[in-house]
Every structure is written in structure tokens, then in C-alpha cells.
Structure 1
Amino acid sequence: MTDEDTPEPPDTSGTEIGAGLLEQNMGPSSSLAHLYRGEIHRMKFWRERLDRTSNWAITLMAAILTWAFSSRSNPHYIVLLAIITVSIFLLIEARRYRAYDIWRSRVRMLQQNVFALGLDDSKGVVDEEWRRKLSEDYRYPKMKVSLEEALAHRLRRVYTPLFFVLLVAWVFQLTAYTNDTWPEAAAIGHIPGTIVTGIVVAFYAGILVVAYRPRTWHINGEILPSDVTGWDYSRE
């Protein structure tokens, strides 16, 4: 056997691994379909974690309110403890939402630039740099939304109504379950009622600012209230 007939050893450097796997003109290939299915699974897992946090917050809030109004002798600050507890759940859920957005943003990128293009190529891709961005995201995963934006999203979707139910319950207990007048009725031990009321007002002003101040949203693919329009499926 001559040197010309000797087969070249396989490339073990790893530089060719994955080359050609996803060509520029590819459609939803088998490898991409498996990748998409995996991202959907992880997104679903984190979505369920979000729902569990919300369910626990609502359940605990209902239990505290039930006990707070079970007797006129129960102190009003029990409702304030419920506000603190729900705030803790909000922080936990906001952190989970930031992780959930990692997988959801990848899914939306594939839907917008691969599957939507495969169904109708007349409008092209949404982002010309989607391949580079997705590759970079797989190399160096990072959270794409800030904690404040995640808090604003969860406040708008779930927690603002919960907080205002607790506010109404607190005001009702102070006015209907005690013989004292405001602000003396809001006192907690040696803390005057004016200070307690001021803290509550500041807290609620803060969550309103975080939730509803004008901002540029960085959440990819989330349906915001401004995006809800009457889509006509009969139009071309």
C-alpha cells in the first residue's frame, strides 16, 4: 500500500463538530426541531414554577385574611404581615421570571425567524442577526431583563390586584373592626399610626411607579396590553 492509498486520520480537534449542522438556507431540520422541543420543555418547566409561586401567594393571602377577620380582637397588622409575605413571593417570582425569560426568548427567536419564515417567506425574518444572537446566547447564557422590569411585569399580571385587595382589607379592618379613629387606629405598639400609614402609602406609591412608569420593554415575545389588537385573519 502506497502513501497515497493511506487514509487520512479523522479530525479529532473538534473544529468541524457541528459544521453544516444548521445551514444558512435550512428549514426546520430534524436537529433544529429537537432543539426547539428542548427549549419548549425548559420554558414550560419555568412557567410552572411561576404559577406555583402565584398560587402559594394567593393561598397564603386568603388564609391570613380569613384569620384576620375571624375575630374583632385580631390586630390590624396581621394584614400588613400579609402584604410583607406577598411582597416576598413577588420578589421570588420576579427572579424566576428572569430565568424563565431566558428560555422563552430563545423559543420566540426560533418562532419568529425560522417557523414563521417557513410558513410565509414574504415578510422575511424579524431579526437579520438572529443566528449570531442565538449562538452567542448558547455560548454565554445570561438574563436579558432587569429585576425591575420583571417586577413590573409580575405586578401588572398578578400582584397589583392582590396588593390592592390587601389594602382594602386593611382599611376596612381599621374602620369597621376598631373603635379608634384614624390615624390612631393604625398604630402598632409604640409606632404612631401616622408613621404606619405613611409607610403603607409610600409602599403602594412605589409599586405603582415600578409597575406603570413608561419604559422600553426588553421582554421578547411577551404580549403586552399595547399589543392586543383586533387581528383580522381574513386580511391578506
Structure 2
Amino acid sequence: MSEHTSVSGSKEVGAIAHLYRAEAYRSTIWRQRLDMTTNWAVVTTGIALSLTFSSKEASALPLVLVGLLVAMFLHLEARRYRYFDVFRFRARILEIAFFVPILRGEGAEIKQDRGTPLSDDYVRPKFRISYLRAVGKRIRRNYGFIFAIQVLAYFGKIEIHPTDLKTYEQFLDRAAIGPIPGELALLCGLLFHMCWISIAIFTYFQERADKSETKDVLDWDEHQDDGIPPVQPY
């Protein structure tokens, strides 16, 4: 088919409009699911903070356990984000190829150079990003801040309860979790947080180096030199 051939006509335009409504709706549903897991992470972190600082004798263990629980929420949200990204990609294709020409007064049509990625995606559906990149994106958007609050609260608890910290030995003693010595507990915490920080940094540079079709479409902007920053993806 010629590169200049386009999909046009009243029936086709109506079908495309309904298709866009469906893809936008599915994108919205999956975005709500993302918000749900983030809300769970925020609520459980708040409960852990309340328990930990409820009294001087309260243990800091709830903050440690909720960190593992939040990591589970991160896993669920990364999986959901991959589905959200599929429908976001489809809706974005339709916006660029269909609605942008209408708003510019060029008529409702989908040129094949913009329509082919969408038709190919319906024939062979696939995730647009890897699981690891989805994890890194959600860490940079939300979960990095949640983990940072947990770390600050943990060290704040050790510092002030039951009395102000005096010595390094006292710090290690308070960091101990039952039979687990303080040095080992702190080492495990360091490895845990270095892991998510490394994933966030690695996937950030991986995303910047991405030259795939998905990246080109989602970041498409004919007026990139206007000085207007593009809207960041969710």
C-alpha cells in the first residue's frame, strides 16, 4: 500500500472514534489500578509509622516489615504498568494520527505511516516495556519517596527512642532485631535500598537511550523547539 494512502470516510472515522474511546477507557482503568497499589503502599507505611512512634518502647520492626510489603506492592504495580503502557501507546497513536490533523484543519484521516504501528499492535499484541523498566519507572515516580520516608523514620526512631542516642554501640544495639545483630540488620537494609536505587538509576539511563518505536511515538512533538516541555508520562 502506498505511503500516502489513508484511512478516511464517515464509517471509518466513526469506527476510529469508538476505538479511541475504548483505548482511552482501558488506559484510565489501568491507571486507577496503579493508583490503588500506590494508595496501599502509602496507607501501610502510615500504619507502620503510627505503630513505631506510638510509644518509646515500641519497636522499629513494623517499618522493616512494611518495607517488604511495599516492595510487594511495587511488584504488583510494575506488572499493572506494563498493561497500562500498552493501552496508553494505542491511545497516543490515535491522538497523533487522527485527532491532531482534525485540530489542525487537515481533515480526519490516518496515514499509513502512523497507522501501521497500531494495526501491527492489534495483530501481535505485546508489552511495550520490560518488567525491570516498569519497576524503575514506578520507583522514580512514587516508590522512591515512600522508601526514603521509611528509611528516615527508621533512623529517627533509633535516634530518639527511648532516649537520645549517645554512642555508636547503642546505635547498633537498637538496630538489632531479636536474635539478628544490629550490624547484620543494617547491612540487609543497606542492600535492600541500594537494590532499588540501582534499578531506578539503571533504567533511567536505559530509557534515555531507548530509540524504539514506542519511545518515538509517546514522545512525539513536532514543535520540540518551542521551549515548551513535553508532558511527562504517568
- Measured against the shorter chain, the TM-score band is 0.7 to 0.9
Is 1:79 aligned to residue 63 of structure 2? Answer: yes
Is 1:174 aligned to residue 158 of structure 2? Answer: yes
CA displacement at 1:118 relative to structure 2: 3.1
What is aligned with 2:121? 137
| TM-score, normalization by structure 2 | 0.78
1:91/1:151 contact within 8 Å kept? yes
Which structure 1 segments of 5+ residues have no match? 1-22
Cα distance in 2 for residues equivalent to 1:104 and 1:44: 9
What is aligned with 1:57? 41
Secondary structure at the residue paired with 1:182?
helix
Change (3 A) 1:142 1:190: same
What is aligned with 1:113? 97
Change (3 A) 1:91 1:120: same
Secondary structure at the residue paired with 2:56?
coil
What is aligned with 1:184? 173
Q: Identical aligned pairs, as a percentage?
A: 31
Secondary structure at the residue paired with 1:215?
helix
Change (3 A) 1:30 1:128: closer
What is aligned with 1:16? none
| TM-score, normalization by structure 1 | 0.77
Cα distance in 2 for residues equivalent to 1:121 and 1:158: 39
Cα distance in 2 for residues equivalent to 1:121 and 1:56: 45
What is aligned with 2:197? 208
Change (3 A) 1:74 1:230: farther
Secondary structure at the residue paired with 2:171?
coil
Cα distance in 2 for residues equivalent to 1:88 and 1:33: 38
What is aligned with 1:3? none
What is the Cα-based RMSD across aligned positions, in Å? Answer: 2.8
What is aligned with 1:161? 145
- Equivalent residue in structure 2 for 1:35, among 19, 40, 43: 19
What is aligned with 2:232? none
1:178/1:185 contact within 8 Å kept? no
Choose 1 or 2 for highest CA Rg: 1
1:76/1:170 contact within 8 Å kept? yes
What's the CA shift string for 1:78-117, capped at 9, x where partnerless? 1101111111111111111111111001001111222223
Comparing 90-99 with 203-212, which one deviates more in the overlay? 203-212
Where do 4+ consecutive residues of structure 1 move more than 4 Å? 217-220
CA displacement at 1:128 relative to structure 2: 6.4
1:101/1:144 contact within 8 Å kept? yes
